[in-house]
Amino acid sequence: MMEEFYRTKVKEKMIPVRDTPFIEENTVWAEFLAKLSLRAHAWVVNNADDMRVVGVVTEHDMLRSIIPPGEKQERIFGVPRAEMLHKESVVQDIMTHNVVVCSPEETVGDVLKKFSSFGIRRLAVVDENKRLLGEMTIQLLVKNLRYKFMNMV
């Protein structure tokens, strides 16, 4: 049963782009704060027409940007960011730039390796031009496993 699950293609299980949170890289702070108040993350795209993934903004990125100077623990939170948000801040100022992605042709096994290797909980699913097609999350895989086990009874 698990071998079949590992071989399942991402495109069969992914959350489609219409249900995937995203935001444009030049979006101002008030709008990205509103987005993060509803979801723990948003994929950052160059623009809504092209939809090329250029980063991700998460609650952790927000936390890094609002912790007072001198209070940051870089080992936990990674590279230092802007010290405080200001009116001119845009998503690009606080987002994580180098995101790990996957293709719709990869398998659940490939995705699980990436989750484990990089210590992440979500992946953007992109095409060959890095256009956002959807996402895969640990939560989604847990729900799929739960469904598989419930149907075995």
Task: Enumerate residues 6+ apart whose C-beta is below 8 A from 129.
Answer: 52
Please give the structure tokens belonging to residue 42: 């948003």
Please list, residue by residue across 96-125, b when 16 or more beta carbons sit within 10 angstroms of its beta carbon and e when fewer do.
Answer: beebbbbebebbbebbeebbeeeebebbbb
- Indicate the SS3 state at residue 98: coil
What does pLDDT average to in each consecutive run of 10 residues of the chain (153 residues)?
A: 89 96 91 85 96 94 73 51 65 91 97 96 97 96 80 59
Residue 47, CA distances (Å) to 66, 92, 99 in order: 26, 12, 17
Residue 8, token pair as written in the block: 């399942």
